[in-house]
Structure 1
């Protein structure tokens, strides 16, 4: 018998207290009276759907009997996936992660359930149930931790994707934990994983890592592109998340160029820019491929200007500004303008005024494809406000400069970017003699808030004067 007296007693008690017969209750909950009688007497198994009907008919919360159901109908019975699977999905709907964890713990000792749990985790991941998917992926990964399977690697990739968030310190830990598993993925997932990893390390300004991973993505992309067009054993690349196969090769070149420019190696960066500017070798002619070819050519034009600007050729600044006027993520492009202004001591007030409305109207990048890409934009936004603060402070516009610096500090605190938080503090103390008392209070309050958020264990406070 699957139903213990514990649940049956509750049903009997309800019927007796309310003077309701089994037949009447069966009509109320739209359940055959014979089925209901078998459940109540313990002679028939019960599905989660039937349990939900009974619970609703008794006027109880939908998950009222779920903990009992786990013990009576799963743990103490012969395991049956056709009964367990619907129950787990119902727990997902009701956000009963504790129930999911308890059921999964009973299943892990039986190897045949591992692939079933993995398939369910994949389904939940793609349907947008991150918490439940994380629970299942963690358990499957733990059960296969001694294996070198592709399933383990894919679990780690999904967990990486689910754990990437605004906290850059945690993002670094997440990326480092996942990186050893990348090589075990299939070719499609490996390309996506390398792209995501490169974006995370880019948001952390870890340029050596960005370059190394991007070169790996470039090599893998070239090998697979050659196989796709010149081999009888070609792999179908229909499930790539970031466009056609050639786009990964071009994107790898773009990331390598960014890394080289960030490290001051502008000559090498230009070679990588040329690598994705000329896509004449691409064989695809479909609409999506033409879109991506045009996109990379536009990025190449912009980044050639950036390369020249960073090398000291200020003459291309007007052309660069015209090219960025239609860009969606304006912080990334204006960051280059402010950086050049600070590096070569030029006035860009007229440019900032031109984009003032776009700066004011900017929002968090919720529309971007992946969390990894969002982190790049968030980090660029912080650096923009930091560089803009420096620009204004150097021009002795102290009130506006400190306002921008406080904005940068707050945003750096949100993403827990230790280097940018430190830079904000350093810039403030460099110019602190020019800060009025109210500005000092505002900055110290913002800094203390950042400290409390990112270092809960240690008390910290500034004294101001």
Structure 2
């Protein structure tokens, strides 16, 4: 068949075919889709025809009972006409392609965009829209394209892409990926605008906390304290000189970054058993009422820090041997249920360290302990893991071997899911020591965890 006989598919010819097939007038189509009749007339009857938006195409797909993404492969002609790229159409198009998984369409248009360095701003805009709309995983390939194609590693969109990529990876459970993301982003953290630097340092410290990399938590917590202090002092000076306060857009109130710097530093020191040092950091966030520019949100955050400081003071004093505070701490936990998970971790560690019997406390909070498995956030998972580990040691030391093995297996399963290698190896060694006392069912469970069949 000669080339002249080839029937060429186009966006409008396909839509017009469905219009004729259903016998719809433009008036009827406008009623069904909600698209203005004059706009429809300009799209199909005007010369040159009016460009169709991706919203129009989606509305037409619904009107014709077609699946989402209908005719997306033909929409490229609306985005690029005579070599000119329409930013207003290509950005929403790529966003929708990413949202519904039309990778084939993305691959059609991206190589064309990459022919011109100026179009990197389009790919960055797509990534930003996806990220801010909560589609973080979908945003990753677009940030990667910007990073790979941008020639200036100091330009704003390159640095921001590095930051967003770091944030997008944190949603998963793969600790290796999280650590690689930290390493990749680390060199660029200080190139961000100050408001993003605050968020970045807080996230870096939090990620390293969940990875149990206490030295890195210290590093980023120190940087966060320093930066928050500098910004606070600049705000005070601006207020004193000009009588105005600068507007710094951040995810949290400035007092949060200041307090979290001290909180995270203290926690990192505590988990390295540097208790005396940790106490000074707890004192730094125990009372933040001196902080200027307080609003209702700030007051609420300051109250949170006050509560955390009280709990962490108990923790550090108990771990340093002031066991006479135990009953007082238990009553504190009973009055503050959200702190029970962290508190039971402290109590079990204290019991093992000083040879205490805490059976009555474990029984008292048995209902809450049964719910620890429902926690999903990284900080709670870390505390749950440590609690199970210390409870296993406690039960074994008390001669309750069957219960100790059960807790060891719970800890082992949790360490496996969290990819926490150190605790995983410790639990394997602990189980192996008591393997001759394990039941057949416990041995089977141990084998299943080792082989990854417990997920």
1:357 corresponds, among 367, 380, 383, to 367
Question: For residues 34 and 77 of structure 1, do their structure 2 counterparts lie closer, same or farther at Cα, with a shift above 3 Å needed?
Answer: farther
Matched, 1:346 2:352: no
Tell me if 1:173 matches 2:176: no
Pairwise CA distance, 1:274: 1.7
Q: Compare 202-211 and 322-331 and name the one that shifted more.
A: 322-331
**TM-score using structure 1 length:** 0.84
Give deviations 1:243-279, integer Å, cap 9, x for gaps: x213322221111111222222222111212222243
**1:376 paired residue number:** 379
Which digits, 9 at most, give the CA deviation of each residue in 1:305-363, with x for residues without a partner? 21111112211111222222214153222111111111111111111111111121345
Unaligned runs of 5+ in 2: 1-6, 31-36
- Of 328, 337, 340 in structure 1, the residue corresponding to residue 338 of structure 2 is 328
What is the CA–CA distance in structure 1 between the aligned matches of 2:205 and 2:407, rounded to whole Å?
29
Where do 5+ consecutive residues of structure 1 fail to align? Answer: 367-373, 454-465
Q: CA deviation at 1:11?
A: 5.3
d(CA) in 1 for partners of 2:45 and 2:451?
64
Find the aligned partners of 1:208 and 1:440 in 2 and give their Cα distance. Answer: 37
**8 Å contact from structure 1 (residues 409, 446) kept in 2:** yes
Is the CA contact 2:255–2:291 (under 8 Å) kept in the aligned structure 1?
yes
Alpha-carbon distance in structure 2 between the residues aligned to 1:343 and 1:189: 42
**Is the Cα contact below 8 Å between 1:91 and 1:100 reproduced in 2?**
yes
Question: What is the CA deviation profile of residues 33-71 of structure 1, one whole-angstrom value per residue up to 9, with x for unaligned ones?
Answer: 7546548x9966444344445545554334232123226
Which of 270, 285, 290 is equivalent to 2:279?
Answer: 270
Question: Is 2:109 the partner of 1:103?
Answer: yes
Cα offset, 1:216, TM superposition: 0.9
Aligned to 1:293: 302
Give the match for residue 249 of structure 1: 258
What is the CA deviation profile of residues 388-410 of structure 1, one whole-angstrom value per residue up to 9, with x for unaligned ones?
11211221212222222222222
Distance in structure 1 (CA, Å) of the matches to 2:41 and 2:177: 56
Is 1:445 matched with 2:452? no
Superposition pairs for residues 225-264 of structure 1, below 5 Å?
Answer: 225-231=232-238, 232=241, 236=246, 238-242=248-252, 244-264=253-273
Q: How does 1:109-124 map to 2 (within 5 A)?
A: 109-124=115-130
Q: In 1, distance between residues paired with 2:234 and 2:333?
A: 37
Say if 2:153 and 2:159, in contact at 8 Å, map to a contact too: no
CA distance in 2: counterparts of 1:439 and 1:141, whole angstroms: 49
Residue in 2 that maps onto 1:88: 94
CA distance in 2, matches of 1:411, 1:236: 46
Q: Does 1:426 align with 2:433?
A: no
Name the residue aligned to 1:137. 143
Distance 1:327 1:54, change over 3 A: closer
Residues 65, 316 of structure 1: CA spacing in aligned structure 2 closer, same or farther, 3 A cutoff?
Answer: same
User: How many aligned positions are there?
Assistant: 436
Q: Name which of 194, 209, 213 aligns with 1:206.
A: 213
Q: SS in structure 2 opposite 1:178?
A: helix
CA contact (8 A) 1:75 1:106 kept: no
Distance apart, 1:190 and its partner CA: 0.7
| Corresponding residue SS for 1:449 | coil
- Asked whether the 8 Å contact 1:149–1:184 carries over to 2, the reply is no
Asked whether the 8 Å contact 2:289–2:302 carries over to 1, the reply is no
Q: What's the secondary structure of 1:312's corresponding residue?
A: coil
CA contact (8 A) 1:247 1:292 kept: yes
1:382-435 deviations in Å (ceiling 9; x for gaps): 221122112112212122222222222222222212222112211111222221
| Contact 1:26/1:36 (8 A) holds in 2 | no
CA distance in 2, matches of 1:137, 1:98: 18
- In structure 2, the CA distance between the partners of 1:319 and 1:239, relative to structure 1 (3 Å rule), is farther
Are positions 1:389 and 2:412 aligned together?
Answer: no
Q: Does 1:221 align with 2:224?
A: no
Highest relative contact order (Cα 8 Å, sep 6+), 1 or 2? 1
Instruction: Look up the match of 1:126.
Output: 132
Instruction: Give the distance between the partners of 2:206 and 2:64, measured in 1 at CA.
Output: 52
Instruction: Note the aligned Cα RMSD (angstroms).
Output: 2.9
Q: Secondary structure at the match of 2:292?
A: coil
